[in-house]
Structure 1
Amino acid sequence: MKDFDYHLPQERRVVTDGFGEKSAALNSRREAAVARALTPGLPGYVVAADGGVLVDADDNSYIDFASGIAVTSVGASNKRVTDAIAKAAAEFTHSCFMVSPYQSYVEVCEKLNQLTPGDHDKKSVLLNSGAEAVENAVKIARKYTGKNAVAVFDHGYHGRTNLTMSMTAKNKPYKTGFGSLAADVHRVPMSYPARDGLKGEEAAARAIKVLDQQVGAENLACVVIEPVQGEGGFIVPAQGFLPAIAQWCRDSDVVFIADEIQSGFGRTGQWFASEDEQVVPDIVTTAKGIAAGMPLSGVTGRAEIMDSPIPGSLGGTYGGNPVACAAALAAIEEFEVHDLPGRAREIEAIIREYLEPLTESEAVVDVRGRGAMMAIELINGEVTAEIAAACKKQGLLILTCGIDGNVVRLLPALTIPEHLLREGLDILTTEINTALS
């Protein structure tokens, strides 16, 4: 892979064992000032990041296989993005697009309309977070169809607000103690090849039977699905599943919403994961990689659907903030100039080189994913947690996921240098082998 220019040394450096003195002091302040629910996984408090590294207050340099949960795909301090942020902030930091509009909001919507799947007429709205995008996509679908029910899938994750928490499958830590949940949300079976062994069409028929018999198309406003599931375990549905669900929606006057918040923006080796099987959603939700860490999300859909809500019924004070929009335009330019979706495919090839030999072990359930959204599912969650902790001690940050907590997920920045990617994979495979031996 071609290297980029970096302002930080792209090296792993372990100076302290766990908390260093400065990070320990910061952690004490966190415990006193920050709600207990926000408990970071990394012992170090980050002071700088670039390319594939996070540097903490005690000068530890971690290899970063998380990229802020698939957010800093172009790097955490990409020069094109930081220059655009500085320029925009010097001009104005806020005006609220609904009150006094500005060009960058329009430009981001134009890019989303251009980049998302399909050549039909599209329109977009910009918001702050992925959950907010999903909520608004559901609102729009309900207004357009005049129906209320929402269908989601086993293992899915869609956010932490009341509606999206209800749409999310996993109880702990996302839902426990936070009820009552939103009504008229229905869960149907997902295609999970490693566990159900079904072909895509078979898994789709199973899901459609539930939709028909337990929900009813006449009640259903939308079906919401992650084309590659994220927090639920990086589950890639069997070929044929997504197209069959999308076709059923078209035939049934149900809005098909692709939640591309984690799988979009080059992460899976194409601009959007839906493109792998030429699926064209009615609505696409985006966030995470869209603006390199600035808070921004989008809902993009067929123009007639997006125009169904009345004027003034969509928006929010900060949605489409001008500084975040400038960051998004710069990040998208970085994707285009350097073909970062193509780089994601290169990353996938290297990850598979390291992980696929591990499937010879009975304790490894599956290696799966696309692009720089790859995962290895292990036999149980306890072993997975031990591996993650051991990697952190070695200076490698990885994340786990899955309903059972038994999946290691890899989300490196698309700008990570190859030598650092390989070094991190060496550590990970060594720790997996040690834990499983």
Structure 2
Amino acid sequence: MKNIILFILIVFVLVTTTSAETIRLKSGKYITGKVIQDKDDKDGFWLEKLDGGTVYIRWSQLDEVERDRLKNTSQDTATGQENKGQLIDGIRIITSYRTVEGILVSEKDDVMNIKTSRGIEIVPINAIIKKELAKLRPEDVYSPKELVERMAATCKANDSECLIKVAEYARSLKLYDEAKNYITKAKALLTANNPDSEKLQKKIMELDATIILDEINRLKENADYEKAIDMADKLLAEYPDTAIAKANTDLIKRLQAEADEFQKNKDKIMAKKVPEEWYKLLESLLGKAAGEKQMSSAGKYVEGSLEKELLASLMKKFNLPREDIEKYWDMRDNTKRLSASYGTGSWIVLGGSQGMDYGGGQTMGKKLQTQNEWWGETPNIIKKKWLEAYYAETSQYVKKVSEKKDNCTNCSGKGTVKATRNNQEVDVTCPRCHGVKVTITITYY
């Protein structure tokens, strides 16, 4: 009996079972069932189908977006997040090309607008294979700022302690302006008649000091030591009794030593900092364009204003003129190579067959997408990589190293697939590569 109980406990610890999930495979097919995931199995998981059968799914059978979604779901179940009521009611939309999870905002003009943490995702109704209700993590639906606002909305009137917790949460999300705002609101509610006033005031002072230290560290990262030293002076002068100040009594001395060292090795240090921030900003701007812009405007943005915006941000961050930013960018390590793929949109740059808006480019087999349909039905993460590949080929600031062509995984590089019509097998244009046979990956620095 003891052995049986021990076995049950081991299974409970090692295996996570979720409620029924609809999973989209790379092939475009989908399957519904309960995910049974062993944390020690790095290759895949078992799916208990609704008809009682089981099937093993390898992670390699899923695209990156679907893998992340399922792993997040299993983590929520393992930590009991669903049972704690921390998940919210939402919707899951499945197409042949992506899965979108969020809150339905509207359904009109033949599209569904789904709110996600990345913004509004637009899904053409005629592309939907399945839609279902889903329990979602708030962070998958709301932006960091919205998460803070939702937490603040739970605070009762005159509850300064609750507002302090909101400020701490905002600070943890690096929303420093919001954190300061809620600290100010909390201070305004403190009164001499409140028996907890002294304790809360001390908590506010500690949080204020922590945010100032965060600002000092950000200024250091930006190599703005003059402002960092000024902020350190403020921290030690205005918050001397806080734990933060007591732990950093030599902060000004340390900052001055770092500033002196920086001046000696400025070019070497900035030749590392500027490229790092360049790549980080590039990823952010491309991600934003993938989520908010239509295909034609996204392409024009990459060709035109993206780098103007990128350079302006870097000039402001490091307080340097444009020529210095360009100088340090040119000094970057050219052995660090990046790659980006046009993926399932490779046919667009290679001139593949395009579907017709009124019925498709072929009369049998799976309907070919138009460029706008591909853009509308493709996950943002894949569109971002498409834009990055386009950037690597069009930017004057980067160097294209190579172009790799891989056979289309759907047609094995033939450009056509088999379809049946009138009980007869025929060749039709591959709906994945649109006849171009390959996908393209660009390597650059």
* TM-score bracket relative to the smaller structure: under 0.3
* More relative contact order, 1 or 2 (CA 8 Å, 6+ apart): 1
Bigger radius of gyration among the two: 2
Query: Going by fraction, where is helix more abundant, 1 or 2?
Result: 2
Q: TM-score, normalised by structure 1?
A: 0.24
